[in-house]
Structure 1
Amino acid sequence: MIMNDKSKNMMKNFIRTFAGLLLAILLILGFFLLVFPKAGDRFLADKKVSTLSAKNLTYAALGDSLTEGVGDATGQGGFVPLFAKDIENKTDSSVSSQNFGKAGDTSTQIYNRMMKSKKITDGLKKADIITITIGGNDVLKVIRDNVSKLSSMTEKDFTKPEELYQARVKKLLDKIREDNPKAQIYVLGIYNPFYLNFPELTVMQNVIDSWNTATAGVVSQEKNTYFIPINDLLYKGSGDKQAVESGSTSDAVSNNLLYTEDHFHPNNVGYQLMADAVFASYKEVNQK
C-alpha cells in the first residue's frame, strides 16, 4: 500500500510519540531502581552487620580449677570447650583453643606459672580471645590462714587480702596486655559454693560480692577486657530443683549445679551456664 504525504506525517508523529513514551517509561523505571533497590539488596542494606564474621580464632584459657574443668564428667575441660563450641556454632568462626588451667592455683601461682612457662606466654601472645578464672583459691587461702578462729571471722579479715588480690589481678592483666594489646580478655568472677549448706554464713556471701565488685572495677580500667559475674548463676543452684542428699537424716540440701563428689566445683550443667554467660558477653562485645 502506497501512503500519501499526510499518512506519512501521521506515521512519523506516531513513532515519535511512541518513542517518547517508551523513553519516559524507561527513565521512570531507572529512577525507581536507583531510589528503591531490589528486595534482596534492601534486606542486606537494612540488616545489621555483625563483626562476628567468619574467621579463624585462637583462644587461650588461663586460670585455676574452673579453667581446668574439675567436676566436668566428660573430662574435656569444663566451660572452655563449651564456650569455644558456642563461638563456632553461632558465629561461623573456627576456634583453636589451649587450656592453661591448673586446680588449686591462687592468683600468685597463676601469675608465676604464666611467667615461667614459654608455652603459656606464647599462647597468650597469639590469642584473639583470653578467658581467666581467678580468685576462688585466694578466698580459700584467707580461710585456711585463719582456721584457728574460723567461727569468729568477719568481713574485716578479708579486707586486706582483697586489696592485695586486686593488685595481683591488675599486675596479671597488665602483663598479658603488654604482650598482647589486641586480644579480648574475659575475667570470670567467683561464686559462693557454701550458700545452700550454710546460708546463715552471710559473711561469706558478702565477701564474695565485695571481691567481685572490686575485680569488676579493676577489669573496667583495662582496655578490651570484660568482667563476667557467675555467682548469681551458681550459688543457689537451679531454681527450686536443689537435690536432697539421700540417706541424710538432716535432709541436707545440696547445690544441683555443683559436682556431687566435692560440692564445690561446677558440674556439667554449671559449666554450661558459665559458658553461656561468657558467650553472651562475647556476642555483645562483637556486635557493637
Structure 2
Amino acid sequence: MMKNFIRTFAGFLLAILLILGLFLLAFPKAGDRFRTEKKVSALSAKHVSYAALGDSLTEGVGDATGQGGFVPLFAKEIENSTGGSVSSQNFGKAGDTSTQIYNRMMKSKKITDGLKKANIITITIGGNDVLKVIRDNVTKLSSMTEKDFVKPEELYQARVKKLLDKIRENNPQAQIYVLGIYNPFYLNFPDLTVMQNVIDSWNTATAGVVSQEKNTYFIPINNLLYKGSGDKQAVEADSSTSAVANNLLYTEDHFHPNNIGYQIMADAVFASYKEVNQK
C-alpha cells in the first residue's frame, strides 16, 4: 500500500516538474466568443492600420519564417478579402505578463501611437501570468490545486480590464480581438486535469472582461490547438518513449505554435473579423 502511494506521488511530482521545465523553456523571464455589442459595419477604408500587442504568441516564437507568427497571416487575409492594403506593427515580446505588457505600452510612445492610429488591434495575453503562479509556488508544486490559481485569476482580470480601458482612452473606435490561451501539455499529461481546468477558467475570465468592452471580441484557441489537428493528432514523438507530439507546436520547445498552428490562429481571428464586418 505504502509502496503504491510512493509511486503515485513520485509520478505526480515528476509530471509537475516536467511541466515547469517546459514552461521555463517556453517563456523566458522578462493564451467561445463573447460580446454584447451589435455587429459593426464593414471597414470601408482601402487602407487598414493594424497593431498587434502581446507576448510570444504575438512576437511569433516558433514561426520558422521569422515573420511574426499569426500577425502577417491575419493581415494578408484582410488584404485578400478587401482588396485593400494593411500596414501592421508587431508589439509582441516573449515572456511578458499582463503587467509587463501594460507597462511596456505605457512607456513606449511608439506603441501608444501605433495603438491610437490602428483600425484593428489584436492582443495575446495570459500565458505568462499562469506561468508566474507556478513560479511563485515552486516550493509546493506537488500539492498545487486549482484553488491556488483563483486569486491570481481575479487580479489578472483586473489587469486585462485596465489594459483595455487604457487602449480605449486613446482609441474608442478600433476593433479589438483578444486571443485566449491554450494547454500545450494535454497530449503528454491528459490525466493532469488541473492544468486544463486552469486554462479553461482563465479563458472564461478573459472572455468575461472582453464581453464588457465595446467593439471587443474574444477568440478562443485552446480547442483548436491543444490536441493537434487532423489525422496527425497524438503522433508518437519518439518510438522509444510513450511521449506524443502535437503537430501544431514548434518542435524546439513543444509549446509555441508552429507555422501551421499560427495559420490556424490567424484563421480564427479572421473568421471573427469577417463576422463582425459582414454587410
User: How many pairs align?
Assistant: 238
Q: Is the 8 A contact 1:79 1:275 kept in 2?
A: yes
Q: Does 1:283 align with 2:274?
A: yes
2:264 aligned partner: 273
What is the aligned partner in structure 2 of residue 137 from structure 1? Answer: 128
Aligned with 2:232: secondary structure?
coil
Letter in 2 for 1:244: E
Contact 1:54/1:92 (8 A) holds in 2: no
Matched, 1:79 2:70: yes
Asked if 1:160 corresponds to 2:112, the answer is no
User: Structure with the greater relative contact order (CA < 8 A, sep ≥ 6): 1 or 2?
Assistant: 2
Q: How does 1:1-288 map to 2 (within 5 A)?
A: 51-53=42-44, 55-242=46-233, 243-246=235-238, 248-287=239-278
Give a deviation string over 1:30-61, Cα, whole Å, max 9, x none: xxxxxxxxxxxxxxxxxxxx725451000000
Deviates more, 1:143-152 or 1:71-80: 143-152
* 1:61 aligned counterpart, secondary structure: strand
Tell me how far apart the structure 2 counterparts of residues 240 and 181 of structure 1 sit (CA, whole Å).
44
- Cα distance in 2 between the residues matched to 1:199 and 1:147: 22
Instruction: Tell whether the 8 Å contact from 2:42 to 2:276 is kept in structure 1 after alignment.
Output: no
Contact 1:52 1:287 (8 Å CA) reproduced: no
For 1:205, give the aligned amino acid. Answer: Q
- TM-score w.r.t. length of structure 2: 0.83
Moved more, 119-128 or 90-99: 90-99
Q: Report the Cα offset of residue 149 of structure 1.
A: 1.5
Q: Which runs of 5+ in 2 are unaligned?
A: 1-40
User: What is the CA distance between 1:239 and its match in structure 2?
Assistant: 3.1
SS of corresponding position for 2:80 = helix
Shift of 1:220: 0.6
Which letter does structure 1 place at the counterpart of 2:49? Answer: T
One-letter code aligned to 1:266: P
1:129-187, Cα deviation, whole Å (9 max, x unpaired): 00000000000111111122212211000000000000000000000000000000000
The percentage of counterpart residues that share the same residue type is 89
- Structure 1 contact 53–93 (Cα < 8 Å) conserved: no
Deviation >3 Å, runs of 4+: none
Cα 1:282/1:159, change in 2 over 3 Å: same
SS at match of 2:242: coil
Instruction: Specify the structure having the higher radius of gyration (Cα).
Output: 1
Alpha-carbon distance in structure 2 between the residues aligned to 1:216 and 1:132: 13
5+ residue gaps, structure 1, are 1-49
Correspondence for 1:34: none
| Paired residue secondary structure (1:256) | coil
**Could you tell me which amino acid in structure 1 is paired with residue 89 of structure 2?**
Q
